[in-house]
Chains A and B, each alone.
Chain A
Amino acid sequence: MAQMNMIQALNSALDVKLTDDPNVLTFGEDAGYFGGVFRVNEGLQKKHGLTRCFDAPIAEGGIVAAAIGMGVYGIRPVVEIQFADYIYPAYDQLVSEAAKIRYRSGGEFTVPITVRSPYGGGIFGGQTHSQSPESLFTHIAGLKTVIPSNPYDAKGLLISCIEDNDPVLFFEPKRIYNGPFDGWHENPVQPWTGHPLAEVPEGHYTVPLGKARVMKEGADVTVLAYGTMVWVSLAAAEWAGVDAEVIDLRTLVPLDIDTIVESVKKTGRCVIAHEAPRTSGFGAELSALVQEHCFHHLEAPIERVTGWDTPYPHAFEWDYFPGPKRVGEALKRAMEG
């Protein structure tokens, strides 16, 4: 077992797949020789060759379209969109094409592609390097959306995505690439070193899509989170002194509804946390599902803690970011309700 941060774990996942499947290749902007701006592809071109890990033109629509064509041919491309904020030029290809091709062809043509993209805020990236656009994709029939929160899951989930026969959006919270950032931004950065979830097997393993992880068991209130917000929620529970059950959803589509329902029925309270803006965010879906499935078990109104309905502002990053204090206050409100 090796110690890996999230970047190393993702690199290892790609390395494992490039090694065991000649039909896997990867490309993206700066993702070849240089290995990507966050270095997830580092060393892969040198090890696996120019045609298996290469640079792409700055054309997100073209990158995804080319990947779709490759998937239709029968190989398994993994493409990198440099920042999730840049994915919108590819939105038509993802929504109208990748998501629909299996359906509209009666199951004859399939698109086994993985679209990786660094995502989320907390790095002073301003509005074009900080967004969390997951709900634009969870709304689309035919797309899967995966967001890991730690190195072990990141590698196992990415391998599952590459081996999946449907198109998957794989968003990588870049704030936790190097450590489990808990939202206390004034504290020194904690690296992954020594963390149990940074113990990553070097070979092949998978973490199945559609299975949540109960990150911390608790009796009082269920917290539904994913990505960076898992660590923020754990810190929030500690700050608020609440015995919260923190669930890391890991995949939004397909969603592990059973784990959610079981937990909320147990605790009777639910707080939902995400970085994306509140309106029509994935929290709205989660809130509706909890209400539909657990209404009679709820002892307090469902709380949502999210980014504000504004663009992601550079100078006000920590006013925007739903940090542990905001989540903690929501936990307290849920306990009082």
Chain B
Amino acid sequence: MKNTRSLSLHVPEPQCRPGDAPDFSGLMLADAGAAPRPDVSTSPHEMRELAYSLVRVLDDEGRAVGPWDPKLDADTLRKGLAAMVLTRTFDERMYRAQRQGKTSFYMKCTGEEAIACAQALVLDREDMCFPTYRQQGLLITRGYPLVDMMNQIYSNAKDPIKGRQLPIMYSTKEFGFFTISGNLGTQYPQAVGWAMASAYKGDDKIAAAWIGDGATAEGDFHQAMVFAGVYRAPVILNIVNNQWAISSFQGIAGGELTTFAARAVGYGLPALRVDGNDFLAVHAATQWAAERARANLGATVIEFYTYRAAQHSTSDDPARYRPGDEFDHWPLGDPITRLKQHLIALGEWDDARHEQLEKDCVEQVKAAGKESEAIGTLGQSRPSVKEMFEDVFETPDWRLRRQRQEVGV
């Protein structure tokens, strides 16, 4: 007989479930302005503490403080605010459209708008983004037509990707937005390969990839980190830690053991852990990483600490697994409210202008909606069925030609 204690299996559980009072007292936060800003050429080993700290610029009063303040002019701040408000307005409209039966599926990015919207302002239009399904803010900030997004969501006759993909899986080469995969994490090492090719060609473009806290558990994440480090690829590897992977809290992906940013340490990559609801901090961190990549110094890993305020998707009901009012208690607040407060504190914004902005966004989305719905919503209109057989290969082989004939298109 063994004279030892029996083993027991540990399965992580979040602190709060439905009915509990939200409790974020255990979060590893930091004061605005507290994190140091190293030079972009700093060795990853000398800046490890930034993987455990939290880069914040906006304080509770809406002031920009500390070394990470990107010192953006008021026009840029207003542009960012407008992009975030437009993104949220678009999300609300398309969520309703799904509820009204106009499409099968939708995913909002509520509470996470600062990440994609600020990053889109930093990256050049020529840089290639390898997003997940919650970076619609990249497209909206880059000025991709809302009506094209809606046409994709409705899989109608003007769907730019010809009715082949689930709603919101956008793709547009012209806007530097790589085709979204529903298989999580696969885009992460692809972005590294794209960046390697850019470096191989002596180009000046960089790549950026996004992954959620949950999908960092995939092997693709590990492979991306290894390749990015080994080949010093000019890529920004963003981890959007929004606390929830559908119903699984970030502890199921190992988030209670260390920060997601800290994973970069083991690969010898520089890491920043950043307040994802702070537009200025997101902008500054991305700027830092982009500058480093453009200087041929390689990849940076950025964990954006945020909260998924919305459902995972229209097929999800978070009230079944987390307290319904958790977002109201999220200590890093709402990115739109915080940037608005900052602009007001600067004397560059006021409630009346904000109200007008919201109205303008509603009008803009409404106009796009009208145009798209005139073409048709899901089932009312669709591309030609012949599109089913196109683009499997550059040139269809005999099987595809015969099968298309069989369908009669």
Contact = CB atoms under 8 A, between A and B. Distances in A.
Contacts of B188: 65
B226 A106 contact: no
Nearest to B209: A69
A195 interface: no
A69 B207 CA distance: 10
A65 B391 contact: no
A61 B190 contact: no
Nearest to B183: A96
Given A97-B186, A108-B171, A253 B397 contact: yes
Contacts of B398: 254, 257
Contacts of A255: 397, 399
Contacts of B160: 106
Contact of B190 (A72, A74, A102, A166): A72
12 contacts: A59-B222, A62-B227, A69-B190, A73-B198, A104-B179, A105-B173, A106-B162, A106-B164, A108-B172, A109-B178, A144-B393, A257-B398
B194 interface: yes
A93 B186 contact: yes
Contact of B189 (A65, A107, A144, A164): A65
Given A62-B224, A66-B196, A257-B398, A106 B190 contact: no
Given A69-B190, A92-B186, A257-B398, 19 more contacts: A57-B223, A57-B226, A65-B223, A68-B190, A69-B189, A69-B197, A69-B207, A70-B200, A73-B197, A96-B181, A104-B161, A106-B391, A107-B390, A108-B179, A109-B171, A109-B178, A110-B394, A166-B394, A255-B397
A25 interface: yes
Closest 3 CB pairs of A and B: A69-B193, A62-B223, A66-B193
Given A57-B227, A69-B191, A89 B219 contact: yes
B21 interface: no
A75 interface: yes
Given A61-B189, A72-B190, A97-B190, A102 B197 contact: no
B393 A166 contact: yes
A62 B226 CA distance: 9
Interface in A82-138: 89, 92-93, 96-97, 100-110
Given A69-B191, A110-B394, A105 B223 contact: no
Interface residues of B, number: 46
Contacts of B226: 57, 59, 62
B393 A102 contact: yes
Contact of A51 (B162, B173, B189, B200): B200
A6 interface: no
A291 interface: no
A142 B161 CA distance: 16
B378 to A, nearest CB: 17
A62 B194 CA distance: 12
A77 B190 CA distance: 13
Most chain A Cβ neighbours within 10 Å, of B130, B161, B172, B197 = B197
B195 interface: yes
Contacts of A68: 190, 193
A82 B326 CA distance: 50
B186 A105 contact: no
Nearest to A68: B190
Nearest to B169: A104
Contacts of B165: 104
B211 interface: no
A67 interface: yes
Given A57-B226, A109-B173, A75 B190 contact: no
Contacts of A102: 391-394
Nearest to A107: B391
B220 interface: yes
B396 to A, nearest CB: 9
B397 A105 contact: no
Interface of A: 25, 51, 57, 59, 61-62, 65-70, 72-75, 77, 89, 92-93, 96-97, 100-110, 141-142, 144, 164-166, 210, 253-255, 257
A21 B173 CA distance: 24
B44 to A, nearest CB: 18
A102 B188 CA distance: 18
A251 to B, nearest CB: 10
A70 B194 contact: yes
B171 A105 contact: yes
Contact of B391 (A61, A67, A103, A144): A103
B143 to A, nearest CB: 18
A6 B250 CA distance: 51
Contacts of A73: 128, 193-194, 197-198, 201
Contacts of A109: 171, 173, 178-179
Contact of B183 (A70, A92, A108): A92
Contacts of A59: 222-223, 226-227
A65 B394 contact: no
B345 interface: no
A104 B226 CA distance: 28
B179 A74 contact: no
Nearest to B190: A69
Interface in B211-225: 219-220, 222-224
Given A69-B191, A103-B164, A104-B161, A97 B183 contact: yes
A142 B179 CA distance: 16
B139 to A, nearest CB: 14
A65 B193 contact: yes
B193 A142 contact: no
B171 A66 contact: no
A43 to B, nearest CB: 20
B196 A69 contact: yes
Contacts of A107: 390-391
A73 B398 CA distance: 29
A169 B136 CA distance: 34
A96 B186 contact: yes
Nearest to B160: A106
Contacts of A51: 200
Contacts of A254: 393, 397-399
Nearest to B388: A103
Contacts of B171: 104-106, 108-109
B394 to A, nearest CB: 5
A104 B397 contact: no
Contacts of A142: 392-393
A92 to B, nearest CB: 6
B230 interface: yes
A33 to B, nearest CB: 15
Contacts of A166: 393-394
A253 B400 CA distance: 12
B190 A66 contact: yes
B220 to A, nearest CB: 7
